[in-house]
Amino acid sequence: MTTSFGTATSTFMPTDPKIRVQSFTGLKSSHSIALTRNLRVFPVPFSSRSLIRAVSTPLKTETTTTEPKRSKVEIFKEQSNFIRYPLNEEILTDTLNINEAATQLIKFHGSYQQYNRDERGTRSYSFMLRTKNPGGKVSNQLYLTMDDLADQFGIGTLRLTTRQTFQLHGVLKKNLKTVMSTIIKNMGSTLGACGDLNRNVLAPAAPLMTKEYLFAQETADNIAALLTPQSGFYYDVWVDGERFMTSEPPEVVKARNDNSHGTNFPDSPEPIYGTQFLPRKFKIAVTVPTDNSVDILTNDIGVVVVSDENGEPQGFNIYVGGGMGRTHRLETTFPRLGEPLGYVPKGDILYAIKAIVATQRDHGRRDDRKYSRMKYLISSWGIEKFRSVVEQYYGKKFEPFHELPEWEFKGYLGWHEQGNGALFCGLHVDNGRVGGKMKKTLREVIEKYNLNVRITPNQNLILCDIRSAWKRPITTVLAQAGLLHPRYVDPLNITAMACPAFPLCPLAITEAERGIPDILKRVRAVFEKVGLKYNESVVIRITGCPNGCARPYMAELGLVGDGPNSYQIWLGGTPNQTQLARSFMNKVKVQDLEKVFEPLFYYWKRKRQPKESFGDFTTRMGFEKLKELVDKWEGPEQARARYNLKLFADKETYEAMDELAKVQNKSARQLAIEVVRNFVATHQNGESERVI
């Protein structure tokens, strides 16, 4: 049996939002209607792991074949008239919330319905809005707009996310249209920030003016434009159909419209996505060699600029198959690192990206959303088969992967030169939460100096385009608001991340953002107890559930909520985020964390190799040995009490000195040394008084 894509039957767009657009026939068996000449037929062996490959609503045909199982969300998408209905009606009702179908569809518009889980009784519903900012770029106008909206319609804070976007919490349903339209009219968008389509495209946030960094940002912008929905549902719902779209580069339009290898639905309002969009969320990051500020291996697609010896970009290495989400105690779900797919010349990148997306669109599972990410398709097929299918959509063979240097984590905190005479300043923001005095001060600085900003994948903020003369006054004002130079921030905090979790995330099992400040203080106390230095650190990431929004499975020490006040502990990531952590212990209560932390850090201090990171140490030691050390832990070894014959002539004198020392909370040795020093100092000054 062979399968193929169906053809468009109509491009009619009804005005009644309840009417479903029946534009495409979806997948058909080999005996069905003929293909249009610009579509190709791929023989695909049947697999129970890949039940649904349709990208649009199939027309009913006379057949006795049982329809493949589909998830409820697939049906919502099918009946939505391209993500419009019933959301467009639900937002106009007097209720405080929206129904189940609209709750799923509003994600495509960049919003989640939430309620305050700290409150008991009647649920107080609100909405979280997430912006779309390729590469984390935020204009001065948009920043000030988001700052205003947080105060007027949100909870008074802005949240910087791990995908370089804003999250605005606490928006009431009655204010949704006002907030959405305001964002749109001020150079912003939330379209596709959530839902089953391409999410925000990451790129290094540093505004460096080198050819590589500029090209990486441009590529991220172009990929984001290529995969932006085209059917207008976003503008129809929030600004009554008025379009606020900037002009697109001609290469983006050309790549989107190209259907040389069967990637598109001809004449569809969604030429790439069809009516069904993608099976699940889809994440892409672009970076340059060595710069792993974007956690490149955790994305569905990772794109790396490859340049010649003169620094001139020539093409791209492509990784595929990364992803963090999993389900507790379901071993068939797992976090996964991306793996090399191949190299493409720079002029082909948009076509290669589109081919990969089309492969996931047509072959990713649509029956069970736990297994719908592209990582499961690649794990099922293997990279060779996946590459072969992608190449059919791409129309070319991928070239061999180019060798890359070692990756480094780059946070870009502090002051740096951009390369064009201006400066940028990277600010550490604990868990990305901008509020209180910090929020007020940031607004004053950004507004006064007319600064653009960028959000980093580590939940931090970069102020851009700063003149040298502004550095001192800006530094002073920021420090007064607690936005300090990184040398004054605890190293543990610098690399730590947490998701919002309670009280608003509906998926949270336990605390993350609200719990991490205390946990980091406790880790610092353990460091001091076992003798680790202040400038030593480990990458700690905490999430309230196993979905992995703060990428805990890449951390050296990851805490993943697995019950009320309980965490699963993951170990073995590396400081440069290139190695996957593994599950070490389950159901560790928050009050018992020191029982695990103390032995791990104690033995890291004493048994590590030169410059060995904590993550590498745990991997080398092995989890079986580490669990044995944790189980047998009774506290740090105390040095044996011994008599220092240089200070004490006999046991009785030592014991008497020890009793006096305890009163002053000192050791016998410390007190004895003080007595000797005082005695010597007194006689050096010509005095003869006894010092006791």
pLDDT of 432 reads 97
pLDDT in tens, 380-405: 999 999 999 999 999 999 999 999 99
In a shared domain, residues 628 and 678: no
Find the range with the poorest average confidence among 14-23, 408-417, 579-588. Answer: 14-23
177 falls within a domain: no
Statement: residue 164 has pLDDT above 80: yes
pTM of this structure: 0.85
In a shared domain, residues 315 and 355: yes
| Contact yes or no for 576/409 (Cβ under 8 A) | yes
Q: Give the mean model confidence (pLDDT) for residues 624-628.
A: 98
pLDDT of 46 reads 30
Beta pairing class for 414-417 and 423-427 = antiparallel
Pairwise CA distance, residues 581 & 626, whole Å: 15
Statement: residue 667 has pLDDT above 90: no
Burial 595-605 (b: 16+ CB within 10 A, else e): ebbbbbbbbbb
Number of domains in the chain: 4
In a shared domain, residues 217 and 348: yes
In a shared domain, residues 269 and 213: yes
| Bridge partners of residue 559, in order along the sequence | 542, 569
pLDDT of 280 reads 98
112 falls within a domain: no
pLDDT of 26 reads 36
pLDDT in tens, 29-67: 222 223 332 333 333 333 333 333 333 333 334 444 677
pLDDT in tens, 202-252: 999 999 999 999 999 999 999 999 999 999 999 999 999 888 767 899 999
299 falls within a domain: yes
| Domain span holding position 456 | 414-489
pLDDT of 653 reads 74
Structure tokens at 316: 């791209």
In a shared domain, residues 513 and 480: no
- Among the three residues 489, 524, 539, which one is the final residue of a domain in this structure? 489
In a shared domain, residues 383 and 462: no
297 falls within a domain: yes
pLDDT in tens, 345-361: 999 999 999 999 999 99
Statement: residue 691 has pLDDT above 80: no
pLDDT in tens, 563-581: 999 999 999 999 999 999 9
pLDDT of 646 reads 54
Give the CATH number of the domain where residue 468 resides. 3.90.480.10
Q: What percent of the chain has pLDDT over 90?
A: 80
Q: What percent of the chain has pLDDT over 70?
A: 84
Smallest CA-to-CA distance from 167 within 562, 419, 501, 440 is with: 501
- Among the three residues 372, 394, 409, which one is the final residue of a domain in this structure? 409
Q: Which of 21-35, 38-52, 122-136 reaches the highest mean pLDDT? A: 122-136
Torsion sign, CA atoms 496, 501, 503, 505: positive
* Average per-residue pLDDT for the chain: 88
Pairwise CA distance, residues 320 & 360, whole Å: 11
In a shared domain, residues 385 and 437: no
Give the CATH number of the domain where residue 362 resides. 3.30.413.10
Give the position of tokens 């003169």: 310
62 falls within a domain: no
In a shared domain, residues 370 and 459: no
Instruction: pLDDT band for 673, please (50, 70, 90 cuts).
Output: low
Pairwise CA distance, residues 55 & 61, whole Å: 17
pLDDT of 692 reads 36
Pairwise CA distance, residues 76 & 27, whole Å: 19
CA distances from 427 to 75, 404, 485 (A): 44, 29, 8
pLDDT of 659 reads 74
In a shared domain, residues 341 and 370: yes
pLDDT in tens, 326-338: 999 999 999 999 9
Question: Any residues with CB less than 8 A from the CB of 470 and at least 6 apart, and which?
Answer: 449
CA atoms within 13 A on the CB side of 144: 14
Query: Between 688 and 677, where is the model more confident?
Result: 677
What kind and span of H or E run contains 497?
Answer: strand 497-498
- Give the single-character DSSP code of 687: -
DSSP 68-120: PP--HHHHHHHTSTTTTTTHHHHTTSSSSS--HHHHHHGGGGTEEEEE-TTS-
- Among the three residues 354, 384, 409, which one is the final residue of a domain in this structure? 409
pLDDT in tens, 181-204: 999 999 999 999 999 999 999 999
CA distances from 46 to 49, 53, 67, 528, 661 (A): 9, 11, 14, 59, 80
In a shared domain, residues 554 and 583: yes
In a shared domain, residues 419 and 396: no
Burial 126-137 (b: 16+ CB within 10 A, else e): bbbbbbbbbbbb
96 falls within a domain: no
pLDDT in tens, 505-559: 999 999 999 999 999 999 999 999 999 999 999 999 999 999 999 999 999 999 9
Q: ∠ CA(117), CA(120), CA(124), 5° rounding?
A: 60
| Contact yes or no for 303/316 (Cβ under 8 A) | yes
Instruction: pLDDT band for 436, please (50, 70, 90 cuts).
Output: very high
Statement: residue 662 has pLDDT above 90: no
Pairwise CA distance, residues 534 & 122, whole Å: 47
87 falls within a domain: no
Q: Which of 6-10, 85-89, 651-655 reaches the highest mean pLDDT? A: 85-89
Pairwise CA distance, residues 492 & 502, whole Å: 22
pLDDT of 17 reads 38
pLDDT of 565 reads 97
Q: Give the mean model confidence (pLDDT) for residues 483-496.
A: 95
Cis peptide before 491 (omega within 30 of 0): no
Q: Where are the beta strands (DSSP E) in 499-610?
A: 540-543, 557-563, 566-571, 582-589
pLDDT of 657 reads 72
CA distances from 155 to 163, 172, 436 (A): 21, 10, 11
In a shared domain, residues 211 and 296: yes
384 falls within a domain: yes
Pairwise CA distance, residues 556 & 558, whole Å: 6
